[in-house]
Amino acid sequence: MIASDVRLGEGVLIHQPDLVNLYGCRIGSGTRVGPFVEIQKDVEVGANCKISSHSFLCSGVIIEDFVFIGHGVMFINDVYPAAVNADGSIQSADDWTCLPTRVRRNASIGSNATILGGISIGEHALIGAGAVVTHDVPHHAIVAGVPARIVGDARAARASREGTVQTLEIS
- Alpha carbon of residue 49 to chain centroid: 11
DSSP state of 79: S
98 binds a copy of itself (CB under 8 A): no
Alpha helices (runs of H) in the chain, residue ranges in sequence order: 154-159, 161-169
In angstroms, give the least distance from the CB of 128 to a copy of itself.
8
Toward a copy of itself, which CB reaches closer, 7 or 21?
21
Q: 50, 47, 48, 43: which is closest to 69 by C-alpha?
A: 50
- Helices and strands: H and E segment counts in the chain: 2, 20
84 binds a copy of itself (CB under 8 A): yes
In angstroms, give the least distance from the CB of 159 to a copy of itself.
11
Residue 49 and residue 73 in contact, taking contact as beta carbons nearer than 8 Å: no
Binding site for a copy of itself (CB under 8 A): 1, 15-16, 18-19, 21, 30, 34-36, 38, 48-50, 53-54, 56, 58, 66-68, 70-72, 74, 76, 79-84, 86, 88, 90-91, 106, 108, 110-112, 114, 116, 118, 126, 128-132, 134-135, 144-147, 157-158, 161-162, 164-165, 168-169, 171
